[in-house]
Chains A and B, each alone.
Chain A
Amino acid sequence: MDILSHLTPLFFGLIAAGTLVGIIFGAIPGMTATMAVAVCLPLTYAFGLENGVALLLGLYVGGISGGMVPAVLLNIPGTPSSITTTFDGYPMAQRGEGERALKTGIVASIFGGLFSAAVLFFFAPILADFAIKFSNVEKFLIILLALTVIASLCSNLLMGIFSGVLGVWLSLIGTYSIMDGGNGETRLMFDWMEYYLIDGFSLLPVLIGIFGLTTVLLDAEKSFKDEANQGRISLKNGKKFSFSVFKGQFLNLVRSSSIGTFVGMLPGVGGSAASVLAYSQEKNFSRDSSQMGKGAPQGIVSSESSNNALTGGALVPLLSLGIPGDSTTAILIGAFTLQGIQVGPLFIGNNMDTWYLIIIGLLVANLLMFAIMYLAIKPIAKVIEVPKYILYPLIIMMCVVGAYAINYGIMFDVWTLLLFGVFGWIAHKIGLETVPLIIGFILGKSAEIYFVKSLESYGNYSIFFTKSPIAMLLWALIAMSLAFAIYINIRNRRHASMQS
Chain B
Amino acid sequence: MESHWLSLFDVSIDFGQSHLFFPRIVTWILVILLGVILLTRYRHVAPGIKQAGRALAGRGGEFDRKRFFGTIVLTTIYFYMMGVLSDVFPNTGYSFLICSIVFVLALSLLYIDHFSRRLLLIVVVNALIAPTLAWYVLAQLFRITLP
Q: Cβ of A405 and Cβ of B146 under 8 Å apart?
A: yes
Q: Cβ of A221 and Cβ of B75 under 8 Å apart?
A: no
Q: Cβ of A411 and Cβ of B33 under 8 Å apart?
A: no
Q: Within the complex, what minimum Cβ distance (angstroms) separates B140 from chain A?
A: 11
Q: Cβ of B146 and Cβ of A411 under 8 Å apart?
A: no
Q: Within the complex, what minimum Cβ distance (angstroms) separates A140 from chain B?
A: 10
Q: How far is the CA of A272 from the CA of B41 in the complex (A)?
A: 26
Which residues on B sit within 8 Å (CB–CB) of A405?
138, 144-146
Q: By the criterion of a CB under 8 Å from any partner CB, how many residues of chain A are at the interface? A: 65
Q: Within the complex, what minimum Cβ distance (angstroms) separates B83 from chain A?
A: 5
Instruction: Say yes or no: is A190 at the interface (Cβ < 8 Å to chain B).
Output: no
Q: Within the complex, what minimum Cβ distance (angstroms) separates A277 from chain B?
A: 27
Stretch at the interface among A157-165, A351-359, A490-498: A157-165
* With A422-B72, A455-B11, A460-B6 as contacts: A165 and B30 at CB distance below 8 Å: yes
Which residues on B sit within 8 Å (CB–CB) of A43?
138, 142
Q: By the criterion of a CB under 8 Å from any partner CB, how many residues of chain B are at the interface? A: 66
Question: Which residues of A from 392 to 410 have beta carbons under 8 Å from B?
Answer: 392-394, 396-398, 400-401, 404-405, 408-409
Is the contact region of chain B dominated by helix, strand, or loop, or is it mixed?
A: helix
Q: Cβ of A221 and Cβ of B63 under 8 Å apart?
A: yes
Q: Within the complex, what minimum Cβ distance (angstroms) separates B121 from chain A?
A: 12
Is the contact region of chain A dominated by helix, strand, or loop, or is it mixed?
A: helix
Q: How far is the CA of A178 from the CA of B63 in the complex (A)?
A: 48
Residues of B within 8 A of A (CB): 6-7, 9-13, 15-16, 18-23, 26-27, 29-30, 33-34, 36-37, 40-41, 48, 52, 62-64, 67-68, 70-72, 75-76, 78-79, 82-83, 86, 96, 100, 103-104, 107-108, 111-113, 122-123, 126-127, 130-131, 134, 138, 141-147
Some 7 contacts from A to B, beta carbons below 8 A apart, are A42-B144, A45-B144, A172-B22, A389-B111, A405-B146, A409-B147, A462-B6
Q: A414-B147, A461-B9 are in contact. List 12 more A-B contacts (CB 8 A).
A: A43-B138, A159-B37, A165-B29, A169-B30, A188-B23, A220-B64, A393-B108, A394-B130, A396-B78, A429-B48, A452-B21, A462-B6
